């Protein structure tokens, strides 16, 4: 089907649903991390598809589906997040030298791997813009230029948010690892005390 010349509303809707279905896993990864909840992320995805279908019947030409859906989802998620708390604006510092190339250096790879492995709920501890940029770049591997277009930022601003978001995420993960280690140690001590009191202490 050629762009701008759908044979019917039914055909256009069918084409949209097929493309949207392919994008659904990526869209959910983004929304779940942005919202800090798998369930809330699914709600945003459902709402995004519903809004897109309504809009589709009101426009003459179907836009590029991927950026369109991500923009709808991003805006819907921000609306919900604003309803939870008022976010203070964050000043943009000078952009760090963030790589954006086909073969990133090992440190870049490690940062992306860390983001992918990070628990969904921990992303909620990042400021919203940092959260969006880190997810789009490190989880979904979007180009910096596309991220800037989606979020209405300059590429330098995206780089700055990415650098700061990555640093903050590493702090969050390190803190979580420390707490997990402390809990394990506490459990071991409690078990030892229990065995000792039962006159079954082990060395």
pLDDT band at 3 (very low <50, low <70, confident <90, very high): very low
Rounded to an integer, what distance in angstroms lies between the CA atom of residue 62 and that of residue 2? 11
Q: Structure pTM?
A: 0.67
From first CA to last CA, the distance across the chain in angstroms is 74
- Helix residue spans in 57-154 (DSSP H): 65-84, 106-117, 128-134, 144-151
On whether the CB atoms of residues 58 and 108 are closer than 8 A, the answer is no
User: At CA 58, angle to CA 57 and CA 61, rounded to 5?
Assistant: 85
Q: Report the percentage of the chain scoring pLDDT > 90.
A: 41
pLDDT band at 195 (very low <50, low <70, confident <90, very high): low
Domains identified in the chain and CATH numbers: 9-84 (1.10.1740.10), 106-177 (1.10.10.10)
How many residues are present in the chain? Answer: 203
> What mean pLDDT comes out for the span 26-31?
94
> What mean pLDDT comes out for the span 183-202?
55
Most distant CA pair in the chain, distance: 83
> What mean pLDDT comes out for the span 130-142?
91
pLDDT at 202 over 50: no
- pLDDT of res. 180: 56
pLDDT at 187 over 70: no
Rounded to an integer, what distance in angstroms lies between the CA atom of residue 100 and that of residue 142? 9
Q: Report the percentage of the chain scoring pLDDT > 70.
A: 69
What's the chain's average pLDDT? 78
Minimal CA–CA distance to 24: which of 62, 86, 66?
66
What tens digit of pLDDT does each residue of 56-84 get?
Answer: 888 888 888 999 999 999 999 998 888 76
- pLDDT of res. 154: 94
Rounded to an integer, what distance in angstroms lies between the CA atom of residue 126 and that of residue 129? 8
């Amino acid at each position: 089907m050629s762009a701008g010349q759908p044979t019917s509303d039914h055909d256009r809707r069918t084409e949209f649903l097929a493309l949207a279905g392919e994008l659904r896993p990526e869209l959910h990864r983004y929304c779940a991390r942005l919202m800090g909840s798998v369930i809330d992320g699914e709600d945003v995805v459902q709402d995004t598809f519903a809004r897109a279908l309504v809009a589709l019947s009101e426009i003459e030409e179907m836009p590029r589906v991927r950026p369109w859906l991500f923009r709808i989802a991003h805006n819907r998620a921000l609306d919900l997040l604003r309803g939870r708390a008022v976010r203070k604006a964050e000043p943009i510092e000078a952009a760090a030298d963030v790589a954006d190339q086909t073969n990133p250096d090992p440190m870049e790879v490690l940062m992306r791997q860390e983001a992918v492995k990070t628990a969904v709920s921990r992303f909620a501890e990042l400021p919203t813009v940092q959260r969006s940029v880190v997810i789009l770049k490190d989880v979904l591997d979007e180009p910096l230029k596309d991220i800037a277009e989606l979020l209405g930022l300059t590429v330098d601003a995206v780089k700055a948010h990415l650098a700061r978001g990555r640093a903050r995420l590493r702090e969050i993960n390190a803190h979580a690892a420390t707490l997990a280690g402390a809990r394990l140690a506490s459990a071991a001590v409690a078990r030892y005390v229990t065995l000792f009191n039962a006159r079954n202490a082990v060395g």
